[in-house]
Structure 1
Amino acid sequence: MTTKSNPFKAPKAPAAKPAPEAPADDAKASLLLRKAEGGYAFPLLDSVANQFARSLRDLVRALGAPTVQVEREAAEVVRFADWTKASAPAIFWRYHAPPLKGPILLAGGRPLILQLVDIFYGGKGQLGAEREELTDAEERFAARLGRDMGLQLTAAWGDKLAIAPELDCVTGDPAKLAAVRADDELLVQRFTLRGGKLDGRTITCAYPVAALRGIAGAEPAPEARETSPADAAWAATLGSALKTVRLPVRSVLARPEISLVKLLGLEVGDIIPLTIPRNVPVTVAGRSFAVGSIGEANGNAAIMIEHIEKGSDHE
């Protein structure tokens, strides 16, 4: 018996069309910028601000305020002129930060800087008489603080975009913050200190909105190497323990030399003349660390660091 082939053939199902891929630029842009009602949103900056807040807390604690906490408030968009007016009287730090087509700006209230200087030199954060001009020591401290905060910003951006802010201006006059006009919009992040004498003091970080839109399609930084939760916990515990290690800091003010005859002839009431140099060495755990000058701060004898020594490995 022969069988007839079935002339009916089921129609082939149409091949599924691959889903359209999002343009690469859109994928990158979503990391930093998205259209929001009435303007733009920058979701990536929330993570940057959270990390900066933690490192800012650690920095202030290291300067001598161990109980300080830092609260981050929601970011807001304000005009440059309004931001500087609300910050005054303040110290402003400006950073050159390519690929941003504009600077990163930080501002800290003048009273906060004066209190941090007092704490750093052994005081309790008391505010002296109100004055407009900073002393040389206070200006040097403000510059050093600005450099340290720049390093923290670099770390906060590190695993997101390759932005390395470099401090190029420290001033109390907002008119000297060139490249930003009065009507330019800034995305401002506010960090409020809580605890002790510094309670309520603020530091703000401001990004020109136009500059942020300009890097929406920038290449993300390479992803950080994944680490297990155990490794991360171990590293955090080790880092926390190391920060509490106490090291002896010493400075030699004078090394007089006298003859053996005079030494054997010394009696109670005799005077050994000393010649104290302008700069004296500072050692930590027996190793040369810095050179400083002798002076006074808030009624206490103090040494101001003039130069940090570098070892052969430049650490």
Structure 2
Amino acid sequence: MASPTKPRHCAELLGIGPSIAEMVRPLTQLGEKLARTLPSGLGRVSGAEAPVVRIGIPAEGTLDALIAEETGLTAHSLMGLGPKRLPLLASFEAAPVLRLLDRTFGGRGLLPDPLPTRFPLSAELLLARMEDAIAAALSAGMGGDDVHRVMPLRRDTVLAQLAPFGAGEPLLRIVLEVDEAGAEPWSLALAFPLGTLASALVAPRRKRRAVTRTARPGPDTEPFASLPIEVTAVLVDMTLPFSRLSALRPGDVLPVTVARAVPLRVDGRTIAAGTVGEVEDRVAVQIQNAF
């Protein structure tokens, strides 16, 4: 009588996810996307020209190893991916943050001596803007939908107190080198636990991929929101015969009357109308109608 055969189940039925080695390539591809999308966000943070971002090679590690390597003042930002808030970590050393802060306030990017033991409030506000830029770039790089939306959750300078994920949980860490014109290059590090990487970068199996339709960008969203548009307020619109126009000389006076409804025009098209007034010793137009 033949002995019963031991059943074998595939990894999908057992719920076994990809290994760290299998996630190196997807994370590298994500890093390449960040190198293209993150510069514009960092440029808006610093108010300068968009920097050049280069990616390093993903390295395997654990939270315990990161804590052991921690030296000096560093801001660690815990971020959450999707509705389940799957954790990932962004880390910023103090020196580049303080240099960027000095440049933001018109300085040359000098460091205080000695370095502070904690970030000042102005640096905390700058860190929040940097977190938003990284979260937006990560969201776009992972798909741009609600399932892959990344949001900053909390921040701490002591990684052990932040406890972003399990101490021994396997993770991959990637370093982004940022090269800004006229400033010293700096870097930031992103760390992803294996579970977060698998959910973010591995397409689900045995399911048809849903088609995601993204909404068209509006005038209050990028890339249109920061686009400069020239608006002209027409205070006087008058008609002169050519004979009078050709006879004008310095010192001549033309009596004019400012209309009650001052049109606002963009590229020759009237978009609104308002009345002329004054705000803090400056001429202003109060919008009465918008078309």
Normalising by structure 2, report the TM-score. 0.59
Larger CA deviation: 48-57 vs 165-174 = 48-57
2:95 corresponds to which residue?
111
Partners of 2:29 and 2:154 lie apart in 1 by 26
Partners of 1:123 and 1:35 lie apart in 2 by 47
1:50 corresponds to which residue?
32
1:70 corresponds to which residue?
53
1:126 corresponds to which residue?
110
Cα contact 1:100–1:214 (8 A) shared by 2: no
Q: For residues 72-125 of structure 1, what are the alpha-carbon distances to aligned partners after superposition, in whole Å with 9 as ceiling and x for unaligned?
A: 111111121223444543111111213667401101111111112112222221
Cα 1:60–1:101 change in 2 (3 A) is closer
SS in 2 for 1:43: helix
Cα 1:34–1:136 change in 2 (3 A) is closer
Query: How far off is 1:52 after superposition?
Result: 1.6
> Is there any run of 5+ residues in structure 1 with no aligned partner, and where?
1-22, 226-238, 249-280, 289-315
Partners of 1:40 and 1:210 lie apart in 2 by 12
Q: Give the 5 Å matches for 1:129-144.
A: 129=113, 130-144=115-129
Partners of 2:125 and 2:95 lie apart in 1 by 16
Cα contact 1:34–1:42 (8 A) shared by 2: no
Match of 1:40 among 16, 19, 22: 22
Cα contact 2:24–2:58 (8 A) shared by 1: no
Letter in 1 for 2:23: A
2:191 corresponds to which residue?
206
Partners of 1:110 and 1:195 lie apart in 2 by 17
1:312 corresponds to which residue?
none
SS in 1 for 2:167: coil
Q: Give the 5 Å matches for 1:95-244.
A: 95-98=79-82, 102-129=86-113, 130-158=115-143, 162-196=147-181, 198-213=183-198, 216=202, 218=204, 222=211
Cα contact 1:107–1:205 (8 A) shared by 2: yes
Cα 1:58–1:214 change in 2 (3 A) is closer
Partners of 2:183 and 2:285 lie apart in 1 by 34
Equivalenced residues, count: 210
Cα 1:116–1:128 change in 2 (3 A) is same
Cα contact 1:101–1:214 (8 A) shared by 2: no
Q: Does 1:79 align with 2:62?
A: yes
Cα 1:66–1:221 change in 2 (3 A) is farther
Cα contact 1:61–1:67 (8 A) shared by 2: yes
The two structures, once aligned, show a CA RMSD in angstroms of 3.9
SS in 1 for 2:109: coil
Query: How far off is 1:208 after superposition?
Result: 0.5
Normalising by structure 1, report the TM-score. 0.55
Partners of 2:88 and 2:37 lie apart in 1 by 17
Cα 1:87–1:179 change in 2 (3 A) is closer
Query: How far off is 1:42 after superposition?
Result: 4.8
SS in 1 for 2:147: coil
Identity percentage over the alignment? 16
Partners of 1:181 and 1:244 lie apart in 2 by 44
Cα contact 2:80–2:150 (8 A) shared by 1: yes
Partners of 2:132 and 2:143 lie apart in 1 by 16
Q: For residues 233-278 of structure 1, what are the alpha-carbon distances to aligned partners after superposition, in whole Å with 9 as ceiling and x for unaligned?
A: xxxxxx69x9785999xxxxxxxxxxxxxxxxxxxxxxxxxxxxxx
Cα contact 1:65–1:119 (8 A) shared by 2: no
Letter in 1 for 2:159: P
Query: How far off is 1:134 after superposition?
Result: 1.6
Cα 1:224–1:76 change in 2 (3 A) is farther
